[in-house]
Each structure stands twice: as structure tokens, then as C-alpha cells.
Copies of this chain bind each other. A is one copy, B any other.
Amino acid sequence: MSRKKTMDQSQLFYETEKLILESGYAGFHFKALSERLGVARSTIYNYYTNKEELITDYMLHLLNGVVEKMEQVEKEEEPLKYLIYLWSRYAHMHQMLQIMPYIDQHSTARVEENIKKMFALFHEMKQKIESILKDGQNQGEIRTDIQMKTLVGLVMATVQVPVQHTSQSQWIEEVYQLVAHGLKKEK
């Protein structure tokens, strides 16, 4: 019954992502978004009561995607390398997560919920990395003389290594080599 929707979820998320990455949180607002979607600004309000809701919904969607893919990490032969691979595919997610602290967390009950869920997923993500590293430690592969949170921190930080002018596969191989064996030459 009734009318066909002109706005679909996937296009909305797609343009949301693009707009945030291009303009930052400061330049992200419903006016700009509606223009890109070719839709009246007020239409978006039928689905989201404000931009915080939309952004956190979108981010939750993103985070869910990565955490789901991380389920597979433990089945891989080289889990650490697979992690680096995942990072290369979700670099934009890390960029998005950096704006999280600046989102008004109490604008809506739904926003509060979303942020809670995101924290939980983020924690789950770190747990997964930790469990991979612990497995490595148990097999005598990974060093045990450094605090676990620093190890996890380094793995997560590698996503910031710029890709510029390199093929994805080379980036993965090089970053993996560096994370695994360090800058110094083996002797």
C-alpha cells in the first residue's frame, strides 16, 4: 500500500560516509546531506530526529561489519597478517571513530544506546586482537616482555600508516613485516 520510498538506507549511509570523510563533523549537516541525496531536508527528519542519531546509526553499522569479519581472523593461518589486511580495508572506519568524542552523546535516547553499543563493539574488537596476540604468546611466537595494551595499541595504530602510491597488497606485506619484526635489521 501507499507510496514508494525515494530514499533508501544504503544510499543514505553511503552519502553520510562520503560527506563526513570529505567535510568532517563540522561540515556534516542535513542541508548538505539532503542536497546530495536529491531529497528535501525535511524528508530525512522522517527517519532520524537529528544528525547524531544518523551518524551513530551509521557508525554502529560500520563497526558491526568489522567485528563480524574479525570472527574469521582466528580461522586464518596468519591471523596477524589478516588483521593488517582488515585494517587496510577499514581505514575510513578509524577516521570516523575519531570524531566520536565530539558527538553530543545525550541528544537522544537512541544516540545514547548507539554509543553504548559502539563502546561494547570497540571493546570486543580489542579483545579479539588481544586473544590473537595471546595465542601467539602461548605458541612462543609473540614477545611477552611488553604490556598487552601497548601491543594492542601498536596493532591498531598501524592503520594510520598512509597508503599513498602503494598497492594494497604491498602495503599489507610491508606493514606486517614492520609490525612483526620491527625497523631494525635481523642479525
Report the Cα distance A27→B24, complex, angstroms. 12
Chain B residue numbers with a CB within 8 Å of A65 are: none
Given contacts A26-B102, A154-B179, A180-B183, 14 further A-B contacts (CB under 8 A): A24-B102, A80-B183, A98-B98, A136-B183, A140-B185, A142-B185, A143-B184, A147-B170, A149-B162, A153-B160, A156-B161, A157-B161, A178-B182, A179-B182
Q: When each residue 133-157 of chain A gets 1 if its CB lies under 8 Å from chain B and 0 otherwise, what string results? A: 1001000111111110111011111
Residues of chain B contacted by A140 (CB below 8 angstroms):
185
Q: Which residues of A contact B (CB under 8 A)?
A: 23-27, 80, 98-99, 101-102, 133, 136, 140-147, 149-151, 153-162, 164-166, 170-171, 174-175, 177-186
Question: How far is A76 from B145 in the complex, measured between Cα atoms in Å?
Answer: 26
Bound-complex Cα distance A114 to B97 (A): 28
CA distance A166 to B26 in the complex (A): 33
Is A151 touching B178 in the complex (CB atoms < 8 A)? yes
Q: How far is B95's CA from A160's CA once the two chains are assembled, in angstroms? A: 12
**Do residues B141 and A154 form an inter-chain contact, with CB atoms below 8 A?**
no
What's the nearest-Cβ distance from chain B to residue A136, in Å? 8
Residue of B nearest to A157 (CB): B160
A154 x B142 contact (CB < 8 A): no
Q: Are A160 and B156 CB-contacts (below 8 A) given A26-B102, A101-B24?
A: yes
- Contact between A185 and B143 (Cβ–Cβ < 8 Å)? yes
Find A27's partner among B102, B147, B155 (CB 8 Å cutoff).
Answer: B102
